[in-house]
Structure 1
């Protein structure tokens, strides 16, 4: 079969435009690669995701709009073969992703109604994966960030959220999970109902309404604390800081406002930050208010804010 026809076949297949006969041809070709038992290449999902991103970051800069040149016949064939290779790689890449990935930028959040009727609210700077057939596989993978869930009740298909080795199983409830990589704590807070949080090193913890599971990452300990409703401030457009360290403060400010704050002052680094800011504020104004409340000042140089 000619290269152009093969490329067209793959393109139409991925778009769902091929007739049943051609679908069978592609599926048989694809399945022929699965005759040997699968080999475990990656240690875990995090390593797999890291390598996938590295590969994508390597090849994506090479995908550019083609310019018009007069090419030799041999060069045209090489280019066609390269185009076919890209099409085949794309085919494999899409076939091996049985999930939808949701990514929010800094300063952005999304409200999503899931296929089973559950509500998922995704905070700024968050990455989440959701299975494409969510009704039968109600599993959310929180890679980084913060989400709020109101899970629809379904006794036959439990709603679970996985964050690394931590698995939260919902028993018909509303809850919030904060799992930003840059924060020293990972928390699961129950707004209503009941959840079970499982972690290999600490076993299972049952949480009821108004309770929080708190993992202190730096010392690898777990505590159960009273849930602070202010944690949900982000859902109504607020950044609420409650005795936050400088590192926590600048991390959350960057997530919500997209600005970087630095300092060389030990006084600023040692300050604990408690305030409430509307995420609709101008970013510079938000930094000014934050500094003024704590009797500090800021200076602005290009896109960088120095607090002193």
Structure 2
């Protein structure tokens, strides 16, 4: 079933909703940064909100340095239920689990100089005790040409040598428990989701492993759109459009209700027709 997945995006220690393409790979590009929303509330507030509403699978993303304390505060609010990413390596993956992360999310470390490293993936998994259930691989990407996407690292500014396709999904699937994929060209723009990418993610992952798409969500109807396009195989993160992040397109409470209703439908489907005559 398609679920709404919440997020906590951190930049310079604050919860922010950022236009993804304006992030700089260096730390001196603040002048180029475009933000849709800067929250006055700490990350722990949103973690508590998600805990109170029972929203599992939220990802806490550290966009650059200076976010470690905020991320740790969020994890402490709901230990064992939030995923954390941004700057994760084999040296600190286990530490973040100790701090309360249910899973760690990894991207850039897997691509030294923009080239995929199996050795680094093996090292991260070993640091987690070879427990793939603790690892999420982030294949956030940018479109290149007609319906081709390549993994983007360093705050989505560096295009790597890995194309996101059925081959790469199958290559990485044995090492992780789910995928997170931001369409970086759509991130924060509220111009609609990348429908072609959603369709292909559903086909490539085939329902074997959870996959969450993020980027461009602008209305509550996008949840139904992703459900239809993916056959319920892809989850959707909505950020900037949410009212809890200053948006006007989507009510957070409606997303909570969507998840509740999807769970009810799954239960009804599992029960099947009554056997009573």
**TM-score interval, smaller chain:** under 0.3
- Asked which structure has the greater CA Rg, the reply is 1
Structure with more contact order per residue of length (Cα contacts < 8 Å, sep ≥ 6): 2
| Greater helix share, structure number | 2
Q: TM-score, normalised by structure 1?
A: 0.22
